Amino acid sequence: MTHPVTLITGASSGIGAELARVFSAHGHRVALVARRADRLDALAAEITASGRMSPIVVPCDLGQADAADRIAEALTAESVEVKYLVNNAGYGLFGRAAELDHADQLAMIDLNIRALTDLTLRFAPNVIRLRGGILNVGSIGGFLPGPGMAVYYASKAYVLSFSEALRGELGPLGVRVTVICPGPVPSGFQARAGVKPGFDSAILNVSAKDVAADGYRALMANKRAVLPGLGIKVVPFLLRLFPRDFILWGVTGFQMRRRS
């Protein structure tokens, strides 16, 4: 006999850790995936100490080609199967695409796109059978061209498109698919990307805790997409008012002033 579990990637910090907390608080047993085993262990201990179900810890580098196999094996060993899949792991890099490290950018595609797709396809049969859900963490950047973070923005455009297509395919089968598209979130992301917080961070900032809470509520309410915070919600509306060339010009001028 197997038991349902919520699989959360990138769970060692930031939005991922907060997603683990909010799913656990609502009675889900969670399986935590990230590279940093020490942080996963600390989070699992915190969740257990709060009286929630003990998490499953799966230290794993999702950039490795066999990551999905290793995660599946770990879950089978625990006699659990994925009912809810939360694809949160990802990172960005700031700079001109032609000047940034080639291998680093391909590794970003591996994590932000390939790993997310691999896990989704691997566990979709379980999610369908259990009538669960998939929550993908995208970005407001998925709606925009991204000079200065070209590969990252493009990867999040994929996440948005893939999530909406999956919703169309899996919705009739009783599966919820939601994509959450936050703006700036205070976390280690900006330091990793090499981005200096600007006025957008002051205006659009939403905490990782609030993003996680919004994502959970949206998934359970079977919403297509959610944009956390008031300020960020106007972006798709503004995109309909201005020509794409104007948007590209504006984003280029803003982004290229953000180097830390």
Concatenated DSSP letters of the chain: --EEEEEEESTTSHHHHHHHHHHHHTT--EEEEES-HHHHHHHHHHHHHTTSPPPEEEE--TTSTTHHHHHHHHHHHTTEEEEEEEE-------S-TTTS-HHHHHHHHIIIIIIHHHHHHHHHHHHHHHT-EEEEE--GGGGS--TTSHHHHHHHHHHHHHHHHHHHHHGGGT-EEEEE-----SSSHHHHHTB---HHHHHH---HHHHHHHHHHHHHTT-SEE--STGGGHHHHHHTTS-HHHHHHHHHHHHTT-B-
pTM above threshold 0.85: yes
Which residues sit opposite 226 in a β-bridge? 180
Among 84, 91, 152, 216, the active-site one is 152
| Beta strands 3-9 and 30-34, pairing class | parallel
pLDDT at residue 258, rounded to an integer: 60
* CA 71 – CA 57 distance, rounded (Å): 10
Got the DSSP string for 163-176?
A: HHHHHHHHGGGT-E
What is the pairing mode between strands 56-59 and 176-180?
Answer: unpaired
Bridge partner list, 56 = 31
pLDDT in tens, the chain (260 residues): 789 999 999 999 999 999 999 999 999 999 999 999 999 999 999 999 999 999 999 999 999 999 999 999 999 999 999 999 999 999 999 999 999 999 999 999 999 999 999 999 999 999 999 999 999 999 998 988 888 899 999 999 999 999 999 999 999 999 999 999 998 776 555 555 455 655 454 455 788 999 999 999 999 999 999 998 876 777 777 777 777 787 777 776 777 766 54
pLDDT reported for residue 199 = 46
Q: Residue 158 catalytic?
A: no
The Cα–Cα gap between 256 and 135 comes to 31
Query: What CA–CA distance (Å, rounded) separates 143 from 149?
Result: 13
pLDDT of residue 213: 97
Residue 47 phi, psi (nearest 5): -65, -45
